[in-house]
Structure 1
Amino acid sequence: MVTRIDAVPLNVMLSIPQPAGSARIVSRNVIVRTVLRDGTVGYGEVALFAGITSESQRSSLAALRRIESSVHGSCGQMWCELSRRIRALAPGLTATRCGVEQALLDAGARRAELSLVRHLGGSPVPLTSNLTVLPGDIPHTLAAARAARRSGFSRIKIKAVGPWKLDVARVRAVAAALPHSWLQVDAHGQYSYDDARRFVDALDQAGVELALFEQPTPPSRPGDLVRLQRETGAPICADESIRGEGDLWRLVERGGIHALNVKVMKFGVLESMSLIEAAAAAGVRCMIGGMSETAVSTSFSAALAAARRHAVGYVDLDTPCFMPHLPMTGGIGYSRGRIVIPHDALGTGIDASALFPPADRAGSQTS
């Protein structure tokens, strides 16, 4: 039985390498904690990202107060039903719903004395993630890519924002300097179809193979993704074009794409699970991605990826690498470019009790 849902704001500082030092980017998140009647706790996170969700810390915290009063006394094991109730209470607030869903599932796993990945029906196998290189000039791109390789990441994700000729030069430079690297490019829908076609053709002529090309064209023109893959053979991954399962099936009906990026904050946990299974049925690979999430949500997403290995071909869960100092312990670790899911933890293994008032910490369970 759920006896409490607590929430605290957390302003997360990301330290991301830039051409002139490090960019200090602040993400304003919310950490959620559910408490069951026997004292078992579970943690979740609300990660807010402009342009993806319409939520703010203020709106999320207000919605969580409404949710807490509604689910108080409910059976935590009936989390699917609770998720539907929460959706009715906070329509459109997918990240907020996601934070509660994560916390409920985490508490359920701990109550059952299981790791979250076991609770979801999988096993804690290591996952290979990419590491992101943000836009910059060619020397910066090379320096960041080399740093990623020194850290053990062989999969490199290059953010591309145009012009396409500069992006081609950046990708070619990385491919030449770091042969045998797995290269993914994410354009965030910034290219027109013609420029995306020129970008792919130029790399093909240079002998550079893209492992994945994420959202090259505008979200408002999903058919361009299908057309680009059909005409070039490039492995296209949809992100912003997918807002729900219906969008996936519409792409499939047009001819299909190679992959889609599933971010739990964008869909919520229950809908993400449904979307993953729908993609598997359609023959579309999933990439489990994230936004500006701490290890709380990233550990959850890693467990989900491991538990749905039959459908998940790609993992893009690197933001904790850019968050060196946070008031939480446990959860996933990184080793030579791989995400290590703890074998002996309960739930996600996260302990975020330091974020909550001292009088409320007694029930924390992490292993």
Structure 2
Amino acid sequence: MGSIGFTFFSPKLYKKPMITGTTMTATTSATTKSNMGFKTLMESFSVDIHKAEGRPLNVPLLAPFTIATSRIDKVENVAIRVELSNGCCGWGESPVLPFVTAEDQEMVLVKSGEVCEVLKKCGGMSLGDVLRHVGQLLPGHGLASVRAGIEMAVIDAVATSIGTPLWRFFGGVSNTITTDITIPIVSPAEASKLASKYYKEGFKTLKLKVGKDLNADIEVLQAIRAAHPHCLFILDANEGYTSSEAIQVLDKLHEMQVTPILFEQPVHRDDWEGLGHVTRVAKTKYGVSVAADESCRSLADVREIAKRQLADVVNIKLAKVGVLGALEIIDFAKASGLDLMIGGMVETRLAMGFSGHLAAGIGGFKFIDLDTPLLLAEDPVFGGYEVSGPTYKFTNARGHGGFLHWDHIA
């Protein structure tokens, strides 16, 4: 049997797939149309990892990517490949972004290599046990990027094994998303040029990096507004403002008759009082929502944000909390009335594709910020989702649907 598509096996009847040649077959006494669900598969699917490895994933950018706290000139991430004993492979990506992720590329390669060696010796374990074991080996925020890459690869391999795309694996709410696109910190002239380009490509929401120079930020906003007069704005300060500066920006925008749809991380990650103050003023005076990004690095952070009403939105990034951590935060945020945003670091279509599948499958994300593959000078990923301007469409290919030519990145 080839790809299972939309048909899911009952977990009670499911047996491990068998590989004959290059075609996956699965033995079962009956099938059902019901969605097995990720949580059910966590305990019902046996994972036996045959091969696991991380390699450098270096990709040039179209232009330097500058935010309030850092600048990068190329992507230096780590790709993870996991192969199960049934022959099915999965792919993941651990992003490395200076001043945001705690790890550099060398550290990610070392840590991922150590965990991959452990997983190859574990024998058959349930998917849940494998992922929990990864969490024990790579605990906390400091190793979240490594953990995320390995979790992605293992989950992708399992989805491939049962013959279903990841967006179905995570719930099947939708198979498309529409992303914003980011304008980094640049001159007003360059910002105007980019805004015109993105207008022609169909992007309706522009995410503008701010926070380095308040007056320069206002000039850039004016230039973008002239070039793309009907665009929606997201402002992302990446911790760059004080609370008073953040409110000044909103005042200036109000004078320009511009109301952003979101103000992301206006103050330092540890300035909880400042974050709450900006959120209250932005909401009551201007009707603008505020998102916590760098301040949202764990479920404990999200609990505090909800309890003290410090933000309206939490930005979920797999590189900050891992896949399992993200799922916990999503459940809690929905129950607490917080709006959801999904974003990423500077990643290729491996990590962005996984995040997109997750957001589309689960549904309920108010803001989608998965644009960085569009900012790369090369695309190392073969297959995967289809891109049409700001719209990503996820196919019925098994798992992630994308892959790397592994030997070319050795």
TM-score (norm 1): 0.90
Does the 8 Å contact 2:373/2:379 carry over to 1? no
Give the Cα–Cα distance (whole angstroms) in 2 for the partners of residues 32 and 10 of structure 1.
Answer: 9
Aligned length: 353
Tell me whether 26-35 or 101-110 shows the greater mean CA deviation.
26-35
Tell me whether 164-173 or 280-289 shows the greater mean CA deviation.
164-173
Give the Cα–Cα distance (whole angstroms) in 1 for the partners of residues 392 and 349 of structure 2.
Answer: 11
Could you say what secondary structure the match of 2:258 adopts?
Answer: coil
Does the 8 Å contact 1:217/1:225 carry over to 2? yes
Does the 8 Å contact 2:272/2:310 carry over to 1? no
Give the Cα–Cα distance (whole angstroms) in 2 for the partners of residues 76 and 101 of structure 1.
Answer: 16
- Pick aligned residue for 2:128 from 80, 86, 99: 80
Query: Which residue identity lines up with residue 350 of structure 1 in the other structure?
Result: G
C-alpha deviations, 1:120-165, integer Å up to 9, x for none?
1224432110111111221111111111111211110111133222
- Pick aligned residue for 1:274 from 325, 328, 352: 328
Give the alignment's Cα RMSD to 1 decimal: 2.2
Could you say what secondary structure the match of 2:60 adopts?
Answer: strand
Give the Cα–Cα distance (whole angstroms) in 1 for the partners of residues 357 and 124 of structure 2.
Answer: 19
Give the Cα–Cα distance (whole angstroms) in 2 for the partners of residues 81 and 229 of structure 1.
Answer: 40
Could you say what secondary structure the match of 2:383 adopts?
Answer: coil
Give the Cα–Cα distance (whole angstroms) in 1 for the partners of residues 197 and 271 of structure 2.
Answer: 35
Does the 8 Å contact 1:188/1:216 carry over to 2? yes
Give the Cα–Cα distance (whole angstroms) in 2 for the partners of residues 64 and 160 of structure 1.
Answer: 34
1:306 aligns to 2:364 (yes or no): no
Give the Cα–Cα distance (whole angstroms) in 2 for the partners of residues 328 and 139 of structure 1.
Answer: 32
- Pick aligned residue for 2:275 from 220, 225, 232: 225
Instruction: Indicate the residue corresponding to 1:2 in structure 2.
Output: 49
Once the two structures are TM-superposed, the CA of residue 357 in structure 1 deviates from its matched residue by: 7.4
Give the Cα–Cα distance (whole angstroms) in 1 for the partners of residues 183 and 263 of structure 2.
Answer: 14
Does the 8 Å contact 2:60/2:376 carry over to 1? yes
Instruction: Indicate the residue corresponding to 1:364 in structure 2.
Output: none
Please give the residue correspondences for 1:1-367 in structure 2 after superposition, counting only pairs within 5 Å: 1-16=48-63, 25-72=73-120, 74=122, 78-91=126-139, 92-233=142-283, 234-310=288-364, 312-342=365-395, 344-352=396-404, 354-356=405-407
Structure 1 runs of 4+ with >6 Å offset: none
Once the two structures are TM-superposed, the CA of residue 271 in structure 1 deviates from its matched residue by: 0.1
Once the two structures are TM-superposed, the CA of residue 239 in structure 1 deviates from its matched residue by: 0.7
Once the two structures are TM-superposed, the CA of residue 73 in structure 1 deviates from its matched residue by: 5.2
Change (3 A) 1:203 1:327: closer
Tell me whether 135-144 or 69-78 shows the greater mean CA deviation.
69-78
Could you say what secondary structure the match of 2:367 adopts?
Answer: strand
Does the 8 Å contact 1:18/1:136 carry over to 2? no
Could you say what secondary structure the match of 1:174 adopts?
Answer: helix
Give the Cα–Cα distance (whole angstroms) in 1 for the partners of residues 219 and 128 of structure 2.
Answer: 48
C-alpha deviations, 1:319-349, integer Å up to 9, x for none?
111224233301123213112212x211110
Structure 1 spans left out of the alignment, 5+ residues:
361-367
Tell me whether 100-109 or 141-150 shows the greater mean CA deviation.
141-150
Could you say what secondary structure the match of 1:356 adopts?
Answer: helix
Query: Which residue identity lines up with residue 13 of structure 1 in the other structure?
Result: P
Once the two structures are TM-superposed, the CA of residue 14 in structure 1 deviates from its matched residue by: 1.2
Give the Cα–Cα distance (whole angstroms) in 2 for the partners of residues 77 and 237 of structure 1.
Answer: 38
Change (3 A) 1:320 1:226: same
Could you say what secondary structure the match of 1:302 adopts?
Answer: helix
C-alpha deviations, 1:181-201, integer Å up to 9, x for none?
111111111111111111111
Give the Cα–Cα distance (whole angstroms) in 1 for the partners of residues 211 and 127 of structure 2.
Answer: 40
Query: Which residue identity lines up with residue 126 of structure 2 in the other structure?
Result: M
Give the Cα–Cα distance (whole angstroms) in 1 for the partners of residues 407 and 173 of structure 2.
Answer: 31
Change (3 A) 1:299 1:55: same
Once the two structures are TM-superposed, the CA of residue 251 in structure 1 deviates from its matched residue by: 1.7
Give the Cα–Cα distance (whole angstroms) in 2 for the partners of residues 178 and 292 of structure 1.
Answer: 25
Query: Which residue identity lines up with residue 158 of structure 1 in the other structure?
Result: L
Give the Cα–Cα distance (whole angstroms) in 2 for the partners of residues 227 and 79 of structure 1.
Answer: 43
Could you say what secondary structure the match of 1:93 adopts?
Answer: helix
Could you say what secondary structure the match of 2:59 adopts?
Answer: strand
Query: Which residue identity lines up with residue 344 of structure 2 in the other structure?
Result: G
Once the two structures are TM-superposed, the CA of residue 173 in structure 1 deviates from its matched residue by: 3.0
TM-score (norm 2): 0.81
Give the Cα–Cα distance (whole angstroms) in 1 for the partners of residues 399 and 266 of structure 2.
Answer: 36
Once the two structures are TM-superposed, the CA of residue 24 in structure 1 deviates from its matched residue by: 7.8
Highest Rg: 1 or 2? 2
Could you say what secondary structure the match of 1:270 adopts?
Answer: helix
Tell me whether 67-76 or 39-48 shows the greater mean CA deviation.
67-76
